[in-house]
Chains A and B, each alone.
Chain A
Amino acid sequence: MAILTREEAQAILKKALSFSKADECEITLTGNNGGNIRYAGNEVSTSGAEENLAMSVESRFGRRSGTATINEFDDKSLEKVVRRAEETARIAPESPEYIELLGPQKYITSKEYFDSTAKIDPAYRADAAEKSIEAAAAKDLEAAGFLEHYTSFMALMNSKGLFAYHPSTVIDFSVTTRTKDGTGSGYVTQDYSDASKLDTGKLSQIAATKAANSRNAKALEPGKYTVVLEPTAAADLLQIMFRSMDLRNAEEGRSFLSKAGGKTKLGEKLVDERVTVYSDPTNPDVPSAPFSGDGLPQEKITWIEKGVMKNMPNTRYWASLKGVKPVPRPGNFIMEGGDQSLEELIKGTQRGILVTRFWYIRSVDPQTLLNTGLTRDGTFYIENGKIMYPVKNFRFNESPVIMLNNLDALGKPQRISGNLIPPMRIRDFTFTSLSDAV
């Protein structure tokens, strides 16, 4: 059994910790149960299942630390893994970034575990794939898709009295449907903690409609365009910005949040004042763990408030050095939006490009967060509030910081990869060349 209850996990961790002879000891127990199915050309290509339960022990003598892992849990094995961590710690160099383990913490509760996802079996997966394939085949299209799901738990206990436990589930689906002559392509992706919300057939119809409507794309000149970014596209770029926020990098002068004179942009206006980004592990649409890997409580925290940079993640070591509060990397990002649907955003667009998703995004300059990439699987020209025709894909060179300064309108946030991101309309988005790719 890879998924343990709170009591089962606690019992194993207590037993393992009882073998510790180190100054400090912290033990992590994680388990997951998962499965996937992959299809292409309207046929299943691969399908598999996996299960894993693993323990990681960190032992410390003064500033020396050692880690060992194991996946057997009888008393003998537990003692062995603790001894192995201690042996490694004794010969390790002293860490200049040592920080003592956390004591007991109070965590909020967050419901991220759903039976609907935990009970998925191979028949469910085959059925989900079949519904998706049927939606494509009904329009004479070819579907290539992937569905995967996990049930997991994480438990943490240390010699200072800390204990944490959190179970979770997630299901993630994506499909690309293509016309048989390869001239049209459409994509959709959706993830949930609760699998009962997922309808692969309905989602695949969205992708199929995009594929059918994207045939015979026209070429527009590259340049600066107003764009309507679907949440998938917006999230692709924004996640790069969110992941790059780090107090140490900013203070070391090697981040987009660094500035002249060795200072940082903390407390400064960075983007349009309608932009507010926060994290909240208890949000019912995007629940996440109430603690981080080192046991720090995850709580609601605002990163950008009305365009002003409010907080950056930082480690316990850096926080103690600088005399500030440690801020763990969060489990989700939530960007506030408005009430408008994607359709309403399109309706309010005089001339612009609708972008379904971006592809192959790579950093060009970490100083400005300039990134390059391409549109893919559903790019359309909008005029006077209506989708007029499909257009050829573009390569862009754009920074999410510049993009959020050119904000025109925000729609209603949707879940994408565990985050809540609104569709958005952006002025002067920079497309630098055309691509023939479909």
Chain B
Amino acid sequence: MKRRNFLELSALGFGGLMMPSIPVFGDIIAPERALEQVDPALKKRLADVALNAAKSKGASYADVRIGRYLQQYIFTREQQVQNIVNAESYGVGVRVLANGTWGFAATSDVTDKGIAKAAEQAVSIAKANAKLQKEPVQLAPVQSYGEVSWRTPLEKNAFEVPVGEKAELLLAANAKATENGANFVNSALFQVNEQKYFASTEGSYIDQDVHRIWPNFTVTAVDKATGKFRTRDALSSPMGMGYEYMIPKAAEKIKGPEGTGLVGYRNAYDILEDAALAAKQAKAKLTAKSVMAGKYDLVLDPNHLGLTIHESVGHATELDRVLGYEANYAGTSFATLDKWKGKNFKYGSDKVNIIADKTQKGSLGYVGWDDEGVKTKQWDLIKNGVLVNYSTIRDQAHIIGERASSGCCYADSWSSVQFLRMPNVSLAPGKEKKTVDQLISGIDRGIYIAGRGSYSIDQQRYNFQFGGQTFHEIKGGKIVGMLEDVAYQSNTQEFWNSCADMCDESDYRLFGTFFDGKGQPSQISAVSHGSATTRFNGVNVINTARKI
């Protein structure tokens, strides 16, 4: 099996991305190899080797994932390409139930012999651990789908675009930032393709080809005289799309609030336009007014609100966390079973409708089937403010009386064991027609926040603190200027109950997180969160300026 390598982003100058390192799986390959596919007939034959070997050793259930995971990451700074990572990881993971206990083993030896050996290992691990099992694992029923396939709907496979062309686009964005006053700019393009084949003893053979893309940058402005520096990150979103996301389209741009110059990007990004604005805003942040701490009405852009949804609703409604499986690392959840059973726990105001959806086009979590062969769907987590459901996988669904899993099982590699990962979790837009300027016009004292900044939440998802990329002061219904040193602190239930109003569907867009971490050993996952611009009343804002 392969141990991950980690790219130290801080060493590449990506301080602003708030991620110390990102994993790179597998071997370095030539870019052209990413376009090759493994023959599904071969994968079916190999899958049967695993399933038969597991059954013959005494497994009551087995599934096998034959995975080819491709990554192409391009990193630049100013007018220089720093690093291009082309990596491929190919192997097989076998998961079995024997004596009522899970066992898992994986191998990069993709031959009949190697796969059979991994299946045997998985069975022997299951049998060894069975002595510590109190109750046998129960799997929710799943349909047998036979031989099926699914592919991310895309117009242009990003891996088909020459590396040089993509690097040129990043360098052009860097140039735009520099022209507009940036002292430094780091940019990156992350592209991922998961070619995964799932088969189980339930009779499904599922071939999927999943694509994701994320352009990003951090622009830095330095005032040498004072020694002050400020950054502004890209307002792009990672998407479950091809290279078409990188081609600007007027119809996919949503005008930001009057007086901010900001643009919301729906299904197409304009990296040159955003880089130019980012440089201007990073410079403006050097002299922006420092916020006065206190209560403000917040107007949160979808590109910011997505992370708040992710942390305070997405993770809190993962059933494995509710049940204590993640207690030693990510933690548990305040959204306990009694709150769900009561059917009257007011998670948020009546306006809050939170939807889980693994079938949303363009989203990072969109697949045909999850990593244990469950067909994906859409369902409600919070209805008119009330907690109504969780995200589940097959071995936990029965605990909340569900007959079927909601399809949230995922592994980040063939060598990782699949477990519960949150689906796309999104806030439904308002039904009443409303633009962002109309939303702001009703606010006397408020702050408009865009972009993903600092974020932190406790291990049960009560108390959180969020920053952002840009902060604009609202006075008398209008944006009056930029603010700095802003972070807001709240409690999940209090915050969602302060949700007062939101824009309509025409303002709705997806935010995404590309490297969400969970589990031990830690695995990553990519997931989207949609919303329209939303207003929250009377939220506690702190001033984060300090002197050292």
Residues of A within 8 A of B (CB): 32, 34, 36, 38-52, 54, 56, 67-71, 84, 88, 93, 95-97, 122, 126, 129-130, 133, 142, 144-146, 148, 150, 174-176, 178, 182, 185, 187, 243-244, 249, 252-254, 256, 258-263, 359-370, 372-374, 376, 393, 395, 397, 399, 401-402, 432-438
Interface-central residue, B101, B132, B133, B545, by most chain A CB under 10 Å: B132
Of B246-254, B266-274, B322-330, B505-513, the stretch lying at the interface with chain A is B322-330
Interface residues of B in 519-546 (CB under 8 A from A): 520-521, 540, 542, 544-546
Asked whether, in the complex, the Cβ of B334 is within 8 Å of the Cβ of A437, the reply is yes
Q: Please judge, given known A-B contacts A40-B324, A46-B102, A144-B328, whether A258 and B220 are in contact too, CB under 8 Å.
A: no
User: B28 an interface residue at 8 Å Cβ cutoff?
Assistant: yes
Task: Say how far A141's CB is from chain B's closest CB, in angstroms.
Answer: 11
Q: Please judge, given known A-B contacts A362-B455, A437-B458, whether A374 and B463 are in contact too, CB under 8 Å.
A: yes
Complexed CA–CA distance, A41 and B320 (Å): 11
Asked whether, in the complex, the Cβ of A44 is within 8 Å of the Cβ of B132, the reply is yes
Q: Which of B108, B131, B455, B489 contacts A71 (CB 8 A)?
A: B108
Asked whether, in the complex, the Cβ of A374 is within 8 Å of the Cβ of B328, the reply is no
Complexed CA–CA distance, A56 and B26 (Å): 12
Asked whether, in the complex, the Cβ of B325 is within 8 Å of the Cβ of A40, the reply is yes
User: B457 an interface residue at 8 Å Cβ cutoff?
Assistant: yes
Asked whether, in the complex, the Cβ of B224 is within 8 Å of the Cβ of A254, the reply is no
Q: Please judge, given known A-B contacts A260-B225, A402-B548, whether A360 and B457 are in contact too, CB under 8 Å.
A: yes
User: B443 an interface residue at 8 Å Cβ cutoff?
Assistant: no
Q: Please judge, given known A-B contacts A253-B227, A260-B227, A395-B465, whether A69 and B456 are in contact too, CB under 8 Å.
A: no
Q: Nearest A residue to B490 by beta-carbon distance? A: A433
Task: Say how far B493's CB is from chain A's closest CB, in angstroms.
Answer: 10
- Give 27 CB contacts A-B under 8 Å: A38-B328, A43-B132, A45-B325, A48-B104, A48-B417, A54-B2, A56-B28, A69-B28, A93-B81, A96-B80, A176-B328, A253-B222, A258-B227, A261-B225, A360-B456, A360-B457, A362-B18, A372-B454, A373-B456, A393-B458, A397-B487, A402-B548, A433-B489, A435-B458, A435-B462, A437-B331, A438-B460
Task: Say how far B239's CB is from chain A's closest CB, in angstroms.
Answer: 24
Asked whether, in the complex, the Cβ of B129 is within 8 Å of the Cβ of A126, the reply is yes
Asked whether, in the complex, the Cβ of A252 is within 8 Å of the Cβ of B1, the reply is no
Q: Which of A368, A373, A374 contacts B548 (CB 8 A)?
A: A368
Asked whether, in the complex, the Cβ of B229 is within 8 Å of the Cβ of A253, the reply is yes
Q: Nearest B residue to A45 by beta-carbon distance? A: B325
Task: Say how far A430's CB is from chain B's closest CB, in angstroms.
Answer: 9
Q: Which of A39, A243, A362, A395 contacts B463 (CB 8 A)?
A: A395
Task: Say how far A100's CB is from chain B's closest CB, in angstroms.
Answer: 19
Asked whether, in the complex, the Cβ of A261 is within 8 Å of the Cβ of B547, the reply is no
Complexed CA–CA distance, A362 and B19 (Å): 9
Instruction: Return chain B residues, CB-CB under 8 Å to A363.
Output: 15, 18, 454
Interface-central residue, B184, B415, B545, B546, by most chain A CB under 10 Å: B546
Asked whether, in the complex, the Cβ of B229 is within 8 Å of the Cβ of A258, the reply is yes
Asked whether, in the complex, the Cβ of B415 is within 8 Å of the Cβ of A243, the reply is no
User: B99 an interface residue at 8 Å Cβ cutoff?
Assistant: no
Q: Please judge, given known A-B contacts A437-B334, A438-B460, whether A144 and B229 are in contact too, CB under 8 Å.
A: no
Q: Which of B2, B18, B324, B463 contacts A144 (CB 8 A)?
A: B324
Q: Please judge, given known A-B contacts A32-B3, A51-B1, whether A262 and B415 are in contact too, CB under 8 Å.
A: no
Instruction: Return chain A residues, CB-CB under 8 Å to B547.
Output: 368
Asked whether, in the complex, the Cβ of B544 is within 8 Å of the Cβ of A41, the reply is no
Instruction: Return chain A residues, CB-CB under 8 Å to B37.
Output: none
Asked whether, in the complex, the Cβ of A178 is within 8 Å of the Cβ of B548, the reply is no
Interface residues of B in 269-326 (CB under 8 A from A): 323-326
Instruction: Return chain A residues, CB-CB under 8 Å to B459.
Output: 359-360, 374, 376, 437
Task: Say how far B275's CB is from chain A's closest CB, in angstroms.
Answer: 18
Asked whether, in the complex, the Cβ of B520 is within 8 Å of the Cβ of A38, the reply is yes
Task: Say how far B403's CB is from chain A's closest CB, in angstroms.
Answer: 23
Asked whether, in the complex, the Cβ of A253 is within 8 Å of the Cβ of B183, the reply is yes
Instruction: Return chain B residues, CB-CB under 8 Å to A70.
Output: 27
Instruction: Return chain A residues, CB-CB under 8 Å to B222.
Output: 252-254, 258
Instruction: Return chain B residues, CB-CB under 8 Å to A52.
Output: 1-3
Asked whether, in the complex, the Cβ of A436 is within 8 Å of the Cβ of B18, the reply is no
Asked whether, in the complex, the Cβ of A254 is within 8 Å of the Cβ of B10, the reply is no
Asked whether, in the complex, the Cβ of B2 is within 8 Å of the Cβ of A50, the reply is yes
Task: Say how far B507's CB is from chain A's closest CB, in angstroms.
Answer: 28
Complexed CA–CA distance, A38 and B467 (Å): 34
Complexed CA–CA distance, A70 and B485 (Å): 48
Instruction: Return chain B residues, CB-CB under 8 Å to A69.
Output: 27-28
Q: Which of A54, A126, A253, A376 contacts B224 (CB 8 A)?
A: A253
Q: Which of B1, B18, B229, B455 contacts A49 (CB 8 A)?
A: B1
Instruction: Return chain A residues, CB-CB under 8 Å to B224.
Output: 253, 260-262
User: B128 an interface residue at 8 Å Cβ cutoff?
Assistant: yes
Q: Which of B227, B329, B417, B491 contacts A146 (CB 8 A)?
A: B329
Given A373-B456, A395-B456, A437-B458, 4 other A-B contacts at CB below 8 A? A176-B328, A253-B222, A434-B463, A435-B460
Complexed CA–CA distance, A256 and B124 (Å): 52
Task: Say how far A33's CB is from chain B's closest CB, in angstroms.
Answer: 10
Task: Say how far A104's CB is from chain B's closest CB, in angstroms.
Answer: 26
Per CB-CB distance, the 8 closest pairs between chain A and chain B, nearest first, are: A50-B1, A435-B463, A144-B327, A437-B458, A260-B227, A437-B460, A253-B222, A144-B328
Q: Nearest A residue to B81 by beta-carbon distance? A: A93
Complexed CA–CA distance, A50 and B108 (Å): 11
Complexed CA–CA distance, A100 and B125 (Å): 49
Task: Say how far B166's CB is from chain A's closest CB, in angstroms.
Answer: 13
Q: Please judge, given known A-B contacts A52-B3, A253-B229, whether A47 and B489 are in contact too, CB under 8 Å.
A: no
Asked whether, in the complex, the Cβ of B128 is within 8 Å of the Cβ of A370, the reply is no
Complexed CA–CA distance, A142 and B13 (Å): 42
Instruction: Return chain B residues, CB-CB under 8 Å to A133.
Output: 132
Task: Say how far A425's CB is from chain B's closest CB, in angstroms.
Answer: 20
Asked whether, in the complex, the Cβ of B220 is within 8 Å of the Cβ of A397, the reply is no
Asked whether, in the complex, the Cβ of B227 is within 8 Å of the Cβ of A259, the reply is yes
Instruction: Return chain A residues, CB-CB under 8 Å to B225.
Output: 260-261
Instruction: Return chain A residues, CB-CB under 8 Å to B226.
Output: 260
Complexed CA–CA distance, A263 and B520 (Å): 42
Instruction: Return chain B residues, CB-CB under 8 Å to A376.
Output: 331, 458-459
Q: Please judge, given known A-B contacts A372-B456, A376-B458, whether A41 and B325 are in contact too, CB under 8 Å.
A: yes
Interface residues of B in 72-121 (CB under 8 A from A): 80-81, 101-106, 108
Task: Say how far B370's CB is from chain A's closest CB, in angstroms.
Answer: 18
Asked whether, in the complex, the Cβ of B457 is within 8 Å of the Cβ of A364, the reply is no
Task: Say how far B108's CB is from chain A's closest CB, in angstroms.
Answer: 7
Complexed CA–CA distance, A119 and B459 (Å): 35
Q: Which of B15, B30, B129 contacts A44 (CB 8 A)?
A: B129
Complexed CA–CA distance, A169 and B283 (Å): 48
Complexed CA–CA distance, A349 and B124 (Å): 53
User: B332 an interface residue at 8 Å Cβ cutoff?
Assistant: yes
Instruction: Return chain A residues, CB-CB under 8 Å to B462.
Output: 435-437
Complexed CA–CA distance, A88 and B329 (Å): 41
Interface residues of B in 409-426 (CB under 8 A from A): 415, 417, 419
Q: Nearest B residue to A88 by beta-carbon distance? A: B30
Task: Say how far B226's CB is from chain A's closest CB, in angstroms.
Answer: 5
Q: Nearest B residue to A70 by beta-carbon distance? A: B27
Asked whether, in the complex, the Cβ of B489 is within 8 Å of the Cβ of A432, the reply is yes
Complexed CA–CA distance, A49 and B122 (Å): 10
Instruction: Return chain A residues, CB-CB under 8 Å to B476.
Output: none
Asked whether, in the complex, the Cβ of B546 is within 8 Å of the Cβ of A47, the reply is no
Q: Nearest B residue to A240 by beta-carbon distance? A: B20
Q: Which of A176, A361, A434 contacts B327 (CB 8 A)?
A: A176
User: B228 an interface residue at 8 Å Cβ cutoff?
Assistant: yes
Q: Which of B27, B125, B134, B521 contacts A148 (CB 8 A)?
A: B521
Q: Nearest B residue to A148 by beta-carbon distance? A: B521
Q: Nearest B residue to A180 by beta-carbon distance? A: B324
Task: Say how far A128's CB is from chain B's closest CB, in angstroms.
Answer: 12
Asked whether, in the complex, the Cβ of A126 is within 8 Å of the Cβ of B128, the reply is yes
